[in-house]
Structure 1
């Protein structure tokens, strides 16, 4: 009866919302939306477990829990599996399909837990003195791999725990460094490394107390910092071996992208063996074929270049012979999975403003598109079943099931409808992709979006959004930080261009921005805005503001000096102001050195050629400057330099600083403040 009343109540709420007057998407809508992720199919492909992240505005944080759908049901209905103040994340099925493993800090620290698939309470699998950052369960179910942050010179975990506790209690806070990294992303180096361990599992799925180190002899992090995950290591199908990716760089770590794959017995007892010593560039994401005879992994070819194309390499385990699969397919793979029969692999990649799922034939390398428009953020495949998390510019990710013979022309079957009731009265802005002749006469793509309530014959002020990276794409996807629908909901049209340097248009197009930050990209932006204005008469391009973050923030400073009459206002989030200062203060030095042709002391001309600081005298456009004080990628001094240059010249400007945010604004209350401040700045200059 209670469940029936809940269903009736939800239906009434949805009906009431659906009958409300239509409106545009608001900042508060965006911040409160539930978010789906991490789909994981059971071994028999009959069920899919996944995560839903909700937002607790009172606690100013997100909370992630596990849900499951029985795909055998005539009308599959999502079922919530966990409910706790502590999140549950990274679900993984047991080999038999009778349980689901996941990470949670419900015991006070992050540990692995096990939940019976058919009901019951979760039990703790690991009980270690240190928090578990990631895990994988052996295909045989007899061993679990975990990654832990430890002091490598400690003999055991208890030593690392004791030293970490002593550091926190020490009243003297100074720290002496003798090599880089000193800090990375948003965290100061405290001397700990991420190390990969394994522990035995008993018949009840309980882990032993004495982990065996697999990577601790190597001076590197498994998983990598700051964004590495369990995709960087894998068990062999028989559970006897583990292959992991690590950068062993020592003093060169801050300017090296040389990740290698190492093979080691799952139970330890032997030194790791380097499988990719022949490649000085990036090797990562190893996965064995279902029969264990082939090891697949992603590899770049050029050392020091983080945006090189990720190729898919297949290595014969017995002989060690390697071959690149689909060499002629000019796309960079983000992630991939083997199909159950081992005859093909599924991979997602940027592709002309979309992020699609493809099938790659393991023998011939033939590539077949499985999805069309939109963004495949995550996916899993078992037997003949594939489930994807798919989003577009008109809605956040939902889970879909692909047909067994999927193609880009077929529509997948929807499995979830998150936020349907919450957004029932929201009308999204209509969008369209377009192309034009950009720099060098090359075809360049972009998107436009109308305000949610656009009327024929009306013109609308423009928010001109410039993506970061710079090797990235602002395409047909959904974002919780830079989302055109928020501007559409506030009455603005938006234009966003995938300029030279963007991904998904071939590696040569991506390469073309390096050493030319202020050249072809600026030309593309100018021509793109003009082309959009000609093609779409509802765009009032003479009444526009430009906005961008990271490289997009750099471009805002560059526009101030080189396109100073183009916009009525500018929003610059975490943007580069002085290339020389950036060269000596950012943490991942390989990035600035590749983009500018070497170190600053060897090639100062490469940095100064497109340095915004040289054109400050041309600045005149009002600018809102935003900075996260924990951003060690583009440090706060860059924003202060920008704001000082504006203030000293009497240019209308504001500075918004978040002491507790990094390169991204992630806390819900801060996100809402960010958006309202930005929209208020646009309103002030475009809606007078």
Structure 2
């Protein structure tokens, strides 16, 4: 953004350029990234691929084609880009300094490529592993060429009939491996034949709905990937296995057993020489928020994987759950990201020559939240964000302090935001000996002699956290700039504060975390003189939405002028309608018919006689995780009881509201509902665009 925003509003949030994680070349001189910008006046999104000159902190356009994506460096200047056309994918190659004039099509893949990885095997040849939708016969799926069914009916013989926002079909994701080779005469690259490496295996990778390039990796001799255990129904199990395939002998995938670890395995990552494989694995099947632990596999040996910091009881000595792995070029260090104290930090793990437990992880970058890491000779290239900065690129040298290379928002100043608005508070938790952390975000125009209404935000999960990171869906700064002091507590069940706090929410949904929230409200009331808790509102999504419904039926609900539930649980037994049954089974101690008391104990529907606070309910039709019946039931109760209430729904959104116009309407309806209850100006009175959107959505 070249012009400073006069005021950070939902429109500024949603129209701001959204910059991807960056991929640097090997010299660390250039970095590729994508950026998209939406215009509400034109109702149009513009997408670009750009290259950043790191030394100058200047970027230039590579291509503005809407069909181009997933750029990769082949060498320090040559890049390859995917181009979607007619259900197929063209592989384009060109000079990064003048891609428009120099690019050419190296070949076409007859299907849509979701993600890919490239491995230089020398002598002008590269191996390419792509993730693509595949038909039951093992051939690529092309949506434009596929035969259209004559009926809309679907027949299922087992559960897991839909997931996230999509009905399950016979097509599955597969990993295909092919070549990209340079012709010695023309010096141009040509795409070779691709082979489906998962054909007839019964395996699917990447794992829907969010799996991508992090689910597989490739060397010149091996492909490693993770997949759901084919013997277990994914509706009741989270178990994911690690597989390795030798590329040169037509072998089948070999499952890698990890004794004692029956949960999800993820993030396979080969060492630079391809001889070792690092990956993450969990102990418990059925528990998404179990702790990830780090393993190393010697690919050329038959020995089982060795765990870093593992213990005989499999609990592990490092009380953090890493989420990604990067190797150093000399293979002497691993770099892992992990949540710690409401940040996503980067940790260094030195590897001794003959040991996997040589040194405890050390944080080497803790500014905001790390999104991706690339190891360079000059140091670590990091993409990150924070509560006030939507995209930052840093270089962490081998010695010395991190250096900011580029910030999309100029460290928040383009939005009128600054780090001085953000601080932390800590208060006693419900469980003896625990301390709960919360972010505190003040308006940029804060005056400590004045009082401001409170916006109390509860996160989803429930095993999740409010982190020092940017969000275009739930951005605390949006509420702060309306005139609230925003408090985002991380109660029992939150991640990044030790596995014990995370696990403690099991069977305690409306117990320990609710009391933590009560304690947090009391702390604000007694210690923050500039907060007017008589003008407080509370909002939450998913588990946070459940908590709004639970608060509504309990004493804390009377402390608020308004509540907002986004895609929340109205009735816990209603979770029998979700696609991932393992989740309520784990949270409430087993199947409903075996544990009715546990399922009903914290059920908001059991306390509807107490519902009295004005309440906005939001629920979208494509949310298959928490079905729309939950939102409708809550709204119906409020209406029948005569409680002031409103219902907002989107037929084309899932658990999240992602489309810009829908998101602006979401922000408008939310801010209008809560602002008027605390004496602030409705957002539809601040923006003509927002007002017009809301008027067009009124249905009765």
Fold match, TM over 0.5? yes
Q: Hey, what does 2:294 align to over in structure 1?
A: 312
1:148 to 132, 155, 158: 132
Distance 1:518 1:124, change over 3 A: farther
Q: Hey, what does 2:156 align to over in structure 1?
A: 177
Counterpart Cα distance in 2 of 1:133 and 1:460: 46
Q: Hey, what does 1:166 align to over in structure 2?
A: 147
Deviation at residue 557 of structure 1 after TM alignment: 0.4
2:407 to 402, 407, 417: 417
1:575 and 2:568 matched: yes
Runs of at least 5 residues in structure 1 that lack an aligned partner in the other structure: 1-9
SS in 1 for 2:569: coil
Q: Hey, what does 2:533 align to over in structure 1?
A: 541
Q: Hey, what does 2:583 align to over in structure 1?
A: 591
Counterpart Cα distance in 2 of 1:270 and 1:414: 46
Q: Which has the higher contact order (CA 8 A, sep 6+)?
A: 1
Distance 1:126 1:189, change over 3 A: farther
Counterpart Cα distance in 2 of 1:24 and 1:499: 31
Deviation at residue 58 of structure 1 after TM alignment: 5.8
Counterpart Cα distance in 1 of 2:404 and 2:411: 16
Counterpart Cα distance in 2 of 1:296 and 1:63: 38
The answer to which of 27-36 and 597-606 deviates more is 597-606
Runs of at least 5 residues in structure 2 that lack an aligned partner in the other structure: 183-187, 310-315, 353-357, 681-700
Deviation at residue 220 of structure 1 after TM alignment: 3.2
Distance 1:288 1:600, change over 3 A: same
1:656 and 2:645 matched: no
Counterpart Cα distance in 2 of 1:191 and 1:226: 15
Q: Hey, what does 1:66 align to over in structure 2?
A: 49
Counterpart Cα distance in 2 of 1:104 and 1:479: 28
Counterpart Cα distance in 2 of 1:422 and 1:450: 14
SS in 2 for 1:597: coil
Task: Output aligned runs, 1:504-583, within 5 Å.
Answer: 504-562=496-554, 563-582=556-575
SS in 2 for 1:606: helix
Render the CA deviation track for 1:404-432: whole Å, top value 9, x for unaligned.
225xxx3x322223245996472457121
Counterpart Cα distance in 1 of 2:675 and 2:57: 45
Counterpart Cα distance in 2 of 1:487 and 1:179: 44
Distance 1:61 1:415, change over 3 A: farther
Task: Output aligned runs, 1:331-370, within 5 Å.
Answer: 331-363=320-352, 364-370=358-364
Q: Hey, what does 2:484 align to over in structure 1?
A: 492
Distance 1:658 1:110, change over 3 A: farther
Q: Hey, what does 2:667 align to over in structure 1?
A: 675
Render the CA deviation track for 1:271-290: whole Å, top value 9, x for unaligned.
11111364322111111112
Contact 1:334 1:349 survives alignment (8 Å): yes
SS in 1 for 2:407: coil
Root mean square deviation, CA, Å: 2.2
Deviation at residue 365 of structure 1 after TM alignment: 3.3
Counterpart Cα distance in 2 of 1:446 and 1:330: 20
Render the CA deviation track for 1:478-499: whole Å, top value 9, x for unaligned.
1111111101111111111000
Render the CA deviation track for 1:445-499: whole Å, top value 9, x for unaligned.
1111112211121110111100001111113221111111101111111111000
Q: Hey, what does 2:255 align to over in structure 1?
A: 274
Contact 1:243 1:264 survives alignment (8 Å): yes
Deviation at residue 265 of structure 1 after TM alignment: 2.2
Distance 1:155 1:686, change over 3 A: closer
Q: Hey, what does 2:692 align to over in structure 1?
A: none
Q: What TM-score comes out, normalization by structure 1 length?
A: 0.91
SS in 2 for 1:468: coil
The answer to which of 645-654 and 52-61 deviates more is 52-61
Q: What TM-score comes out, normalization by structure 2 length?
A: 0.89
Contact 2:421 2:441 survives alignment (8 Å): yes
Render the CA deviation track for 1:568-613: whole Å, top value 9, x for unaligned.
110000000111111x210111211111111112222221111111
Q: Hey, what does 1:101 align to over in structure 2?
A: 80
Q: Hey, what does 1:382 align to over in structure 2?
A: 376
Deviation at residue 386 of structure 1 after TM alignment: 1.4
Counterpart Cα distance in 1 of 2:455 and 2:96: 48
Deviation at residue 41 of structure 1 after TM alignment: 2.1
1:128 and 2:109 matched: yes
Distance 1:516 1:113, change over 3 A: farther
The answer to which of 187-196 and 319-328 deviates more is 319-328
Q: Hey, what does 2:23 align to over in structure 1?
A: 40
Q: Hey, what does 1:187 align to over in structure 2?
A: 166
Deviation at residue 62 of structure 1 after TM alignment: 4.5
1:29 to 8, 12, 15: 12
Distance 1:432 1:125, change over 3 A: same
Deviation at residue 507 of structure 1 after TM alignment: 0.8
Distance 1:192 1:156, change over 3 A: closer
Counterpart Cα distance in 2 of 1:103 and 1:61: 22
Q: Hey, what does 1:211 align to over in structure 2?
A: 194
Counterpart Cα distance in 2 of 1:105 and 1:374: 34
Q: Hey, what does 2:72 align to over in structure 1?
A: 92
Distance 1:422 1:561, change over 3 A: closer
Contact 1:112 1:132 survives alignment (8 Å): no
Task: Output aligned runs, 1:198-277, within 5 Å.
Answer: 198-203=177-182, 204-208=188-192, 210-236=193-219, 239-249=220-230, 252-267=233-248, 269-276=250-257
